[in-house]
Structure 1
Amino acid sequence: MTLHAGDYAEVIGDPISQSKSPSIHRYWLQQLGRVADYKACPVSADDLADYIAERRQDADWAGCNVTMPHKQAVMPLVDTLDGQAESIGAVNTIVPDGDGNLTGFNTDGAGFLEPLRADIAQRHLFRMARVMGTGGAARAIVRALADEGFTIVLSGRDPEKARALLDELDPGREHHVAPLSHFAQPTDFEFDDREGCLDLVVNASPLGMQGQPPLDFDFSHVPPGSIIYDIVTTPMETPFLQAARAKGFRNIDGLSMLIGQAAVAFEKFFGIAPPREENDVELRRMLTR
């Protein structure tokens, strides 16, 4: 799709004021000298269908990112689902084709894996991920990890929902579920030799986000050498990551996933890859001021 000066894209959700996406996309547009914009647009569940119908008719609209709580609700409102979005069962990016048709994509999985690519490129005897959360982002993360050969322990308030999600996204594989309360209590479990293994612990829930209670997690559940990953971006330095760093674990913050998924979406919206590499350092500095 060829875009023209004046095009704009958006991020929609409820709430949306905390989103860093406008700052990311506007930074890239400025670096590229593109005359375009990216906005945050609050859209309630009741207004979602009207929003999509209105934007279909807007020739200047280059598409939108979709965040909580609309990633699944928006699916029947688009005309086509990309294979990844269909398999995940959630949409986080919508792009028009110029003829009034909308395609739903999911860039969360690619964004989540971006900071792990060097690790995943290595060979391992075993890969295990403990994932907290069962929402739209968690769906993309579970699908991405399953595709990379991870055995997953999925934890949520409702273990039955977690089991249904695993059975839907990766049927037939030996994954496990646990209530969130399981990881809040200390354990005396002795981990076996983790040499040659890749272990992840991922907070894919809103817990720890500004306005939400913190993730109640006891680090006795974490194997030695694990990577701790928190997708929350506000604040970037969550109590979960602070505790992980204090205990000497390598950690990855939510900006890594946010920037990674935004880069994929940006190219779909504006027809050009965003400037990365050295610009990522300045972008992160700008976002954390």
Structure 2
Amino acid sequence: MIGHRISGAAVVAGIAGQPVAHSLSPIIHNAWLAAGGIDGVYAPFAPRNAAGFQTLVAAGRAGLVQGLNVTAPFKEQAFALADDATAAARLTASANILTFEDGRVRADSSDGIGLMRGLKEQAPELALNGRAVIMLGAGGAARAAAGALVEAGAEVRIVNRSLERAEALAADLGPSVRVMPASAAFDGAALIINALSVQPDVDFDRIAPGTVVMDMTYKPLWTPFLMAARARGLKTVDGLSMLIGQAAPSFEALFRRPPPPLDLRTLLLAHLGEAPA
């Protein structure tokens, strides 16, 4: 961060979530700002509740913030508060990016991009078209990921404790998405994705060889879910790959320019105290 000068003309952006202290996004974006000599700052915001998040969005409308990344539990509220939205955000009725200009709010979603880039990087041999993908969870990140998977031609099976939330997601995304009980969902799956904030209980002895397993969690990098899959000999994809994949389009939206070249994975592994896989 040496040499990163912030003036009174600095562009202010950030990430909003509850909780948000664990987020690596400030590490990523402020490293890019420093590397590019960009007069700007990326800050964490932790609204206590939906009313607090609405106040933060009002601050953006007033010109105090140029843009926000949005994480749980505010992604669907972010979409609802926007004046207009990209096709990616409309597809899943959730947003992880809000940009502010002339008092208006625009919603976008880069979570699906992040998912697909992470899969391409760590499981390049995986074919999705016509294949079954299990999505554990039905929150904002799961919505965006499911939308990207549908666009890739996959059949998405949602496994979630709350049937109402899962069925709402399936209704929004169409016939390629189904809600299924865990007892029947895993047969023939090419990919299993954990989008839950808690570790799911999956019997990997029943999972077919060749299945790819991904966890959206990145802290810790090697979650018990991924470690159990790896012990079974399955290919794994970590949540850091998805985080890095969605970060570049986020930076470009928030700061109106592409990020400078930087080895983010090495930077983040060092920050996390994790060794490369």
Q: Given the two structures, how large is their TM-score scaled by the length of structure 2?
A: 0.86
* CA apart distance, 1:220: 3.2
Partner SS state of residue 95, structure 1 = strand
Alignment match, 2:195: 204
Alignment match, 2:108: 105
C-alpha distance in 1, partners of 2:160/2:247?
26
* CA apart distance, 1:160: 4.4
Q: How does 1:3-42 map to 2 (within 5 A)?
A: 5-42=9-46
Alignment match, 2:202: 217
Partner SS state of residue 215, structure 1 = coil
**Is the Cα–Cα contact under 8 Å of residues 22 and 38 in structure 1 kept in the other structure?**
yes
Deviations 1:145-196 (A, max 9, x none): 1110111221000234323321221x233x432335x389xx9x7x6xxxxx
**Is the Cα–Cα contact under 8 Å of residues 115 and 245 in structure 2 kept in the other structure?**
yes
* CA apart distance, 1:271: 2.0
Q: Given the two structures, how large is their TM-score scaled by the length of structure 1?
A: 0.83
Alignment match, 1:264: 249
* CA apart distance, 1:48: 1.6
Partner SS state of residue 261, structure 1 = helix
Report the CA distance shift for 1:129/1:283 in structure 2 as closer, same or farther (over 3 A): same
* CA apart distance, 1:284: 3.1
Instruction: Find out whether 1:58 has 2:58 as its counterpart.
Output: no
Alignment match, 1:89: 93
RMSD over aligned CA atoms reads 2.5
**Is the Cα–Cα contact under 8 Å of residues 80 and 104 in structure 1 kept in the other structure?**
yes
Alignment match, 1:195: none
Alignment match, 1:240: 225
* CA apart distance, 1:51: 1.4
Amino acid at match of 1:229: M
Alignment match, 2:5: none
> Quick one: percent identity of the two aligned structures?
33
Alignment match, 1:286: 270
Instruction: State which drifts further: 146-155 or 42-51.
Output: 42-51
* CA apart distance, 1:135: 0.6
Which one of the candidate residues 165, 168, 171 is aligned to 2:172?
A: 168
**Is the Cα–Cα contact under 8 Å of residues 183 and 216 in structure 1 kept in the other structure?**
no
**Is the Cα–Cα contact under 8 Å of residues 155 and 177 in structure 1 kept in the other structure?**
yes
Report the CA distance shift for 1:125/1:258 in structure 2 as closer, same or farther (over 3 A): closer
* CA apart distance, 1:7: 0.5
Q: How does 1:112-261 map to 2 (within 5 A)?
A: 112-117=115-120, 126-169=130-173, 171-173=174-176, 175-180=177-182, 182=183, 199-207=190-198, 214-261=199-246
**Is the Cα–Cα contact under 8 Å of residues 9 and 64 in structure 1 kept in the other structure?**
yes
Report the CA distance shift for 1:221/1:178 in structure 2 as closer, same or farther (over 3 A): farther
**Is the Cα–Cα contact under 8 Å of residues 63 and 95 in structure 1 kept in the other structure?**
yes
Report the CA distance shift for 1:89/1:75 in structure 2 as closer, same or farther (over 3 A): same
Amino acid at match of 2:228: A
